[in-house]
Chain A
Amino acid sequence: MLRFLIRRSLGAVVILLIISAVTFFLFYAVPRDPAMLACGKNCTPDSLAVIRKNMGIDEPIPVQYWHFMVGIVAGRTFAQGDCPAPCFGYSFANQDPVWETILDRFPTTVSLTLGGAAVFLFIGLGAGMIAAWKKGTIIDKAFSSFSLVLSSMQIYFIGPLVLALVVYNMELLDQPKYVPLTQDPGGWFMGLLIPWCVVQIIFTANYTRLSRSSLIEQLQEDHVRTARAKGMSSRYVFFRYAWRGSLIPIVTIFGVDLGSLFGGAMITEWTFSLPGLGTLAVKSVQNTDLPMVMGVMLFAATFIILFNIIVDAAYAFIDPRVRLS
């Protein structure tokens, strides 16, 4: 297990290095000058030079990259002040420290993604189980068709529709917003309820279908038949043997989906004007804000890789047949 973790962690560092280099160098492939955007109306070559120096973009790109990467490990000093490790620098657009901004936005995205995941796992797996349990019946067909309809929906379509109906017309709920969980758990729950219900739609359908087919497959396995032959109740067999086995492909997909969930969160945050990492990423790209783009990219990538490692490790616990070595 330890060897597995060490090996995967080293791999993760290599992946992150590649991502950082690609992002950094691609940024400069676009013919935009971040200094120009901060130069005001009466921009002169002199003031441009000053801004480039302030931003640290007056040096060759590989040197800038080196300083940036060293800053993450060892910290740096800027005109705005000291920037202790992990230092991603200061935003080009508003001079905010990148790392603090990311930490400030992170809880919104985590609340949105984990809450959304809880909703789609609950509904998706539940519906899949019922469909498998009632295989071939009208319930099964209804659930399967409904999931097909849902999977063809998009957040940017459903989001405004739900808002128009639930918030603007029926006035059942307030405008979605992020309130920190620690500050007001009730407000946190109510504020994110609509975004959770919307972000889950693109995933629920897949999980319903996956869990249904996986369960049906498991129910036909030899060990399940043996268990039945031993006289165990079908409910016991269903949950103790078949359901547990059916989780393996779901856990695999869930690990992969966490990445997509972040992407989904980005659109959801934008749709509901929630101040998370998604909206931060979009704004940073729009503002040609290199330090912020790099910070968000690396932060998100780290999390996605981390979740993948956790999911791989989790196999061993769910299925004893899987060996990490």
Chain B
Amino acid sequence: MSRVSIRSARAAAAALAAGALVLTGCSSGGGGDDDSKDSKAKKQGQDVSYTFADAAASKGPAPEVKGARKGGTVKILQRDSFAHLDPGQIYVSDEGALSTLMHRRLTNYKKVGDNKYEVVGDLATDSGQKSNDGKTWTYKLKSGVKFEDGSEITSKDIRHTIERKFAPFMTEGPTFIEEWLTGKGPADARKELPDGPYEGKHLPKSMIETPDDQTIIFHFKQPQAEVPYALAMAGYGVVSEKKDTKQKYDKKPLSSGPYKVASFKSGKSMKLVRNPEWDQNTDPQRNQYPDAFDIQFGVSFEDSTKRLMSDAGENQYATSFTNQVDASSMQKVRTDADVKKRSVSGYQSYVSYLNINNDRIKNKKVRQAIAYAMPSQSIVSAFGGSGGAELAGNYISPTLVGKENTDPFGKLKKPQGDVEKAKELLEESGKKGMKLTFAYQNAPEWQNFSVAAADNLKKAGFNVQRKDIIADTYYDQIGKVKNNYDIYHNSWGADWPSASTVVPNLFEGRQIQDGSANYSHHNNPEMDKEMTRIRAITDPDKAAEEWQKLADKILKEDVPALPMHYYKAIQLHGSKVGGVYFDETLHDIQPTSLFVKK
């Protein structure tokens, strides 16, 4: 997710509460209560682990959830309507949660313990077999997996799912597989199959092969270590070749998961009912307990929080896929035992960064001075304290594999900032009194932070000019390469639990263009070379370790941006909803284990 909206960011200002322990063998999400014994261990390095699973772990059915029963309707309160139902157009988390119930992919995540996940075969029999130094990945499909119309899913459907993403109308989904197959950037990759598969053309066998109905082989231009992660994205949910209606598929997709759409009124409501063609024996992760999900849109965070806290009437049967507790109710959620036991919490994928415009501030000592001066604690407090945010020591989120607790600028030790050190560095640079334009979103959190930050910077010897920018246009403004600001914040989250979709996006020189996530305009060929080297490492754990090292090196040596905080979230559910847990791969409540209590 590239951007945290003001509303969701505000809601991320969540207080922690104890996660409800409902899954057999699983405990709550990464958060946990502030006062609980294990919270210290989980802070910063929560030591999350992912393994690419074999065929045995990829077999269905999913483990039964303790106390679960079939039947009933779960009411889901959502702020935003689903803009897309076509899996190829899905990237954001709201649709991601829905997609888990409707669209199966080649691979999927499965929680197997506290902070332990497996990437299992979903449509495929395992998480993938690599050969040719990681350039070739082979998937065998399980037999008997069907779409909601009863037709069996074949390798031709998988090929079609990938190929249709080359068509001009597919603009919002991920593009990783397409880029890896063609060895080109997202724009040039499309030119390999400009109309998608709709004019009878296919990608050459040197890219995708389907030797039989059960086998699909990907030939990538470079070795790829993280294919199972990429294929588990909602955006690679399977689309039926025979029933593809192009743009119209977005309104009426064919389900392959345990639920299908019975009715959908955009912005108002959606009803999901059981998909009788879904066979639990083929699915290692999903359950199918409720008869239906009754989704209501347009429910603000404030409204859903109040409803779920009240637990009155039909709200007992309600929860949300992605609505979080709003900031004004944090205190009540933390202190009211009845509400607290109906809450789950954990880390979001986002990290907030204070970018230093490297085109305008070329003196490293000045950048270091800014980094030391920043009072990171102020932004943590602005987001509701330790519940909604956590101090960041480095660029890497605690949700990522290989996360280390390094802290090059001493932000954990001196969360209020080290003004003396900043002053010293600024004097050494000979830039004392220099003008510094500080742009920030006009949301309350960032406004509060900007006051504290400007105060520290002034004390350090900067002449700070604060620029309050309307939230709606903020990212357009700071996204311009030729902007007139010296420092500005942004938030970024990984696409899967590896820093490979964080470090290059934020700091690779070739990424610099209007609207790109390299907001600091960091451009160091030596670091870029390192990124290329790490991308070629085929052992994911080794690569994770290297990404962390490189991220720290960039932070320490180049100081293009300062990591400020890791986002957290808290969500509520009614007392009659069971099977609720916070899933670190979705960063939200996992819908597939929910059930209605008696």
A275–B80 alpha-carbon span in the complex (Å) = 12
Pick from A80, A270, A274 the residue with the most CB of B within 10 Å: A80
A44–B267 alpha-carbon span in the complex (Å) = 29
A215–B266 alpha-carbon span in the complex (Å) = 48
A31–B269 alpha-carbon span in the complex (Å) = 32
Q: Does B45 touch A at the CB level, under 8 Å? A: no
Give chain B's interface secondary structure class.
loop
Q: Say which residue of B172, B266, B298 sits within 8 Å of A40 (CB atoms).
A: B172
A50–B168 alpha-carbon span in the complex (Å) = 7
Residues A175 and B476 in contact, CB atoms below 8 Å apart: no
Digit string of A113-124 for contact with B (CB within 8 Å is 1, else 0)?
A: 000000000000
Q: Say which residue of B267, B268, B314 sits within 8 Å of A175 (CB atoms).
A: B314
Task: Given A41-B1, A47-B187, A94-B83, verify A273-B312 contact (CB < 8 Å).
Answer: no
A-B pair count, CB < 8 Å, reads: 113
* Residues of chain A within 8 A of B307, CB atoms compared: 168, 175
* Residues of chain B within 8 A of A164, CB atoms compared: 306, 310
Q: Say which residue of A79, A167, A275 sits within 8 Å of B169 (CB atoms).
A: A79
Task: Given A79-B169, A81-B248, A275-B298, verify A44-B185 contact (CB < 8 Å).
Answer: yes
Residues B171 and A38 in contact, CB atoms below 8 Å apart: yes
Q: How many residues of B contact A (CB 8 A)?
A: 48
Q: Does A30 touch B at the CB level, under 8 Å? A: yes
A222–B87 alpha-carbon span in the complex (Å) = 76
Q: Does B345 touch A at the CB level, under 8 Å? A: no
Digit string of A10-36 for contact with B (CB within 8 Å is 1, else 0)?
A: 000000000000000000001111001
* Residues of chain A within 8 A of B175, CB atoms compared: 42
Residues A54 and B2 in contact, CB atoms below 8 Å apart: no
A188 vs chain B, min Cβ distance (A): 15
* Residues of chain B within 8 A of A288, CB atoms compared: 472
Residues B310 and A168 in contact, CB atoms below 8 Å apart: yes
Residues A43 and B473 in contact, CB atoms below 8 Å apart: no
A30–B190 alpha-carbon span in the complex (Å) = 32
A286–B6 alpha-carbon span in the complex (Å) = 12
Digit string of B290-308 for contact with A (CB within 8 Å is 1, else 0)?
A: 0000001111100100110
A94–B473 alpha-carbon span in the complex (Å) = 21
* Residues of chain B within 8 A of A211, CB atoms compared: none
Q: Does A192 touch B at the CB level, under 8 Å? A: no
Residues B173 and A101 in contact, CB atoms below 8 Å apart: no
Residues A32 and B251 in contact, CB atoms below 8 Å apart: no
Find the A residue at minimum CB distance from B178. Answer: A42
Q: Say which residue of A33, A42, A80, A81 sits within 8 Å of B174 (CB atoms).
A: A42
Task: Given A79-B247, A95-B250, A101-B266, verify A160-B473 contact (CB < 8 Å).
Answer: no
Q: Does A59 touch B at the CB level, under 8 Å? A: no
Pick from A32, A42, A50 the residue with the most CB of B within 10 Å: A42
B window 174-221: CB within 8 A of A: 174-175, 185-187, 190
Residues B247 and A44 in contact, CB atoms below 8 Å apart: no
B261 vs chain A, min Cβ distance (A): 14
Q: Say which residue of A43, A54, A81, A95 sits within 8 Å of B515 (CB atoms).
A: A43
A162–B535 alpha-carbon span in the complex (Å) = 57
Residues B171 and A273 in contact, CB atoms below 8 Å apart: no
A308–B141 alpha-carbon span in the complex (Å) = 65
Q: Does A51 touch B at the CB level, under 8 Å? A: yes
Residues A40 and B91 in contact, CB atoms below 8 Å apart: yes
B window 247-274: CB within 8 A of A: 247-248, 250-251, 265-269
A171–B314 alpha-carbon span in the complex (Å) = 11
* Residues of chain A within 8 A of B299, CB atoms compared: 273
A54–B173 alpha-carbon span in the complex (Å) = 16
List 7 interface pairs A-B (beta carbons < 8 Å), by A numbering: A36-B476, A41-B174, A47-B187, A54-B169, A95-B250, A275-B267, A283-B267
Given contacts A40-B171, A47-B187, A101-B266, 18 further A-B contacts (CB under 8 A): A36-B476, A38-B171, A40-B91, A40-B174, A41-B1, A41-B91, A44-B186, A51-B171, A54-B171, A80-B247, A93-B83, A101-B267, A168-B309, A174-B313, A175-B307, A274-B298, A275-B297, A275-B298
Which 5 pairs show the lowest CB-CB distances between chains A and B?
A: A168-B310, A40-B172, A46-B187, A275-B268, A44-B187
